[in-house]
Structure 1
Amino acid sequence: MGSHTHEVTDAIIDTLKRAGSALKAEGIRFALAGGCAAYARGAAPSLHDVDFALVEEDVPRALETLRQAGFRTAKPPEDWLVKAFDEDDRLVDLIFRIEERPITPEMISRSHMINTAALSLPVLDATDLVITWIMPMSEHSCDYGSLLPQVRALREQVNWDRVAEVVSVSPYASTFLTLLDRLGVACPKPPAEDADIRWP
């Protein structure tokens, strides 16, 4: 997740605000995810595109909402997300499944309203966010270094016991947690407000 210029960051944030405000106005269940969610939660800006998590049954309505807001939409071959592009081809991913686990209403309900670039949007719970980052790790996609700065920035917001429980099925994700533990990133005590978290 390399750094970007202020111009690129500002452009992505503009796309985020346009898409997020449109979805919010229509009452669609969604939460900000990915690098933009990390940024909203205090990480340094390192933004490539805009990611939203949403319930699969809301996908058609979300796509139509973005079409009416001026976005070009597409359904790629992957069966876990759809895409929208603004007039400058900046990408918005609408994600409804991660590693065969559906995004659920409960997961969306755990999000927190956070002021993001002067717009209040639901942002994925930090524990859920970290899980969405590390669960997809595999022998073909296992870049610990790019994730480390984002995870480190969120460390005190995360229920690490819950992360360990969920990702225990993945040797790649579990090994990343071992690295985080050795580096002192993974906090031994979960945040009190996240004590009853479930995923998804």
Structure 2
Amino acid sequence: MQTLNLIALSDGLYLDAFVQDEHDEVIFLSLWARDGDMQHFFAALTLPITQGGYRERTVNLPNGQSHTLHLNRVSDMKKMTTRLPKYTPVGEWVHTWLMLPALTKTPHGSQEAWLISPTALDWNALWPTVKNLCHLPLLDSWQPYLAPLLGNAPMVNTLTAWGLHAYHLHFEPEVIEPLIADAVKTKTLPLTLVQ
């Protein structure tokens, strides 16, 4: 049986994973609590701060660092909940996932994708998504050359996360077209196929 690594978000409320976007806003949250504590959490997110509501929480990570979770996008997030059986060592707990709807969509016809993985994804693992998102035809022989170009643009971002690994890929035509064109002109991207 897999052991959960839970960290306290507040009294009676725990999380085992979160992801933040480039603006440090939470876009994925995996929460564990008894039903009453979970309902209290969601109520606090809707209340004005002057009435006891909150829009951010600080958590202590297992490595000893404290980390602030900004929760301003929670109203945009999709909620999925499951219940543990009543007769467990911890009693009846609720497991809730909050996530932006974009995290559950296949990015066909889009230049943007969000990827979440239990393990880190290297450039080789990201490459099929890069090719699928880019509206320009990309040669497989360009793969090693494009990694630094797209990372420096930046079009491939590693997001702040705990318990998971997350990436945001975003290819704006007005940015990537001149970048690819210049790289072809300067022969940074070779046009001959590598055998």
Fold equivalence (TM over 0.5): no
Larger radius of gyration between Structure 1 and Structure 2:
2
TM-score, normalised relative to structure 1: 0.26
TM-score, normalised relative to structure 2: 0.27
Greater share of strand? 2
